[in-house]
Every structure is written in structure tokens, then in C-alpha cells.
């Protein structure tokens, strides 16, 4: 059930030139109970006093089932954006109002397909970071595979890229492909792919009897990948979508 609460900024760092990682704690000292894949809403006002809100996926990595004390999100900066102004000027100790968690972009216990296809662009990768403990448990049982295709223009925009690389190296069955559409790495890595996520997707030859797909990020990518997956025969119930739309 969604709650309303006040968050205090505990820490922050830049993940990319235009993306900030923010770490919050609830002012009331309570942990946040959430299912990996869910999001929070940040509540604030425009300069004219009109109330508004923005949604951010929870990026916190816990054990996948227990509440977390630290609530992490990744925020993309939008030129002239009201939320950008609010969150870029927030200093450690500053507070904001929030509610949640919301959303159903989550792993489902009833899924039995052997492969998960995760597609993301930009901050759309944050729910997959939160899901890592759940993937660890899935992979430990064997007969499961998880493939993450993460699209960015260049390597500086692969948010949490090193974390996913390490997870792939230490957890057989998890594969990470950084899909770089504008500029390849100076020293390419084995998992790197050139081009957009939806183009690389076809290389994996999706199949309805094998795959569950999750799509999160830029609406154009989500729509294109959705159509590609349908062309390969995946039924709509096996394709979960979450679109990230920038708002001013």
C-alpha cells in the first residue's frame, strides 16, 4: 500500500554528465518496503504554486524481499525542468515529499520461461539494478538465463555499468551487453554491441517458448522493441513495459 512520507538526502554522486544518483532516508526513520521494479513519486510545486509530481524507479539493492533503509534513485537532468531544478539544488540534509511505492513492473513468481530479456535505455536501467538479488536467486536454481541489453550513446552514459559487468562475471547465466549507438569504447569489452538496443535484440532470436521480456526507458525504444518481440511471436502477456517520459 502506498504511503506519503518525507525523504532526507543522505548522499549523492554523478553517474554520468547529466544523471545524478541520490540516496535518501525517510525522516520518520522507517524503512521502505517495496518490490524491485516499483517506483516512487516526488511531490513538489511549480514556481506559480501549482502542485505536481515526478516518478522515479527505486534503484536500491537489498536482498530483494526486505524493506530498505536507504532509498536510491537516478535522476536525468532536463533543461529547464522543474524537477531538475529541485533535485539538482538539493543538498545533503535537504528534504522532499514523496509517496509510494507504485507500479507492477516486477518479476512474477508464476513465470517459468527459461530466459529473461531485459532491455533499457538511460535511467530505465534502475529497476534492473534493484532486481539483481532476485536474479541471483533465480540463477542459483539453474536452468535460467538473464540477458540485459542496455542502450547508451557512449560508455560514460552506461549507468551502473560496472556493477552489471561485475554481476555478469560472478553469476553464470547473467549476460550484460552495453549497446553503444554513437561511440564505441576505446577498448571494447566482450559484451559490447554497436547500435541501438532494439537492433541488437534480433541477434538473440526471441522465442515465445523461451522468453519473458522487460522493456524500460525511452518510449521510442520500448515501442520498437515491443514490435520486434511481437514479430518474433512473443504474446503480449510475456512483454512487460515501462516508458520513461521526460517532463518539464
- Interval 56-71: pLDDT, tens: 999 999 988 899 999 9
pLDDT value, residue 72? 98
pLDDT value, residue 150? 95
pLDDT value, residue 141? 87
Say whether pLDDT at 247 is over 80. Answer: no
- Please give the Cα distance from 248 to 195 (Å, whole number): 29
pLDDT above 90 as % of the chain: 77
DSSP annotation of 154 reads S
Please tell me the least confidently modeled range out of 77-81, 107-111, 117-121, 139-143.
77-81
Could you report the per-residue pLDDT of 154-212, keeping only the tens digit for each? 888 999 999 999 999 999 999 999 999 887 777 787 877 888 898 899 999 999 999 99
pLDDT value, residue 248? 59
Confidence of residue 246 (pLDDT cuts 50, 70, 90): low
Average pLDDT, the chain: 93
Say whether pLDDT at 5 is over 90. Answer: yes
Amino acid at each position: 500500500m502506498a504511503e506519503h512520507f518525507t525523504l532526507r538526502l543522505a548522499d549523492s554522486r554523478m553517474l554520468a554528465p547529466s544523471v545524478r544518483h541520490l540516496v535518501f532516508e525517510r525522516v520518520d526513520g522507517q524503512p521502505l518496503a517495496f518490490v524491485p521494479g516499483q517506483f516512487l513519486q516526488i511531490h513538489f510545486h511549480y514556481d506559480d504554486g501549482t502542485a505536481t509530481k515526478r516518478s522515479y524507479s527505486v534503484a536500491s539493492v537489498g536482498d530483494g524481499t526486505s524493506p530498505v533503509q536507504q532509498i536510491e534513485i537516478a535522476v536525468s537532468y532536463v533543461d529547464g525542468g522543474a524537477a531538475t531544478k529541485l533535485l539538482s539544488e538539493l543538498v545533503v540534509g535537504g528534504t522532499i515529499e514523496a509517496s509510494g511505492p507504485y507500479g507492477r513492473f516486477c518479476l512474477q513468481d508464476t513465470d517459468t520461461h527459461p530466459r529473461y530479456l531485459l532491455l533499457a535505455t538511460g535511467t530505465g536501467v534502475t529497476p534492473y539494478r534493484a532486481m539483481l538479488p532476485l536474479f541471483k536467486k533465480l540463477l542459483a536454481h539453474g536452468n535460467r538465463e538473464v540477458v540485459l541489453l542496455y542502450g547508451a550513446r557512449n560508455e560514460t552514459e552506461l549507468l551502473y555499468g560496472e556493477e552489471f559487468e561485475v554481476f555478469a562475471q560472478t553469476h553464470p547465466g547473467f549476460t550484460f551487453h552495453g549497446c553503444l549507438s554513437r561511440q564505441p569504447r576505446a577498448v571494447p569489452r566482450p559484451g559490447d554491441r554497436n547500435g541501438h538496443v532494439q537492433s541488437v535484440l534480433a541477434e538473440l532470436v526471441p522465442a515465445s517458448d523461451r522468453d519473458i521480456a522487460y522493456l524500460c526507458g525511452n518510449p521510442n525504444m520500448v515501442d520498437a522493441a515491443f514490435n520486434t518481440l511481437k514479430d518474433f511471436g512473443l504474446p503480449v502477456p510475456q512483454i512487460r513495459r515501462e516508458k520513461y517520459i521526460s517532463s518539464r
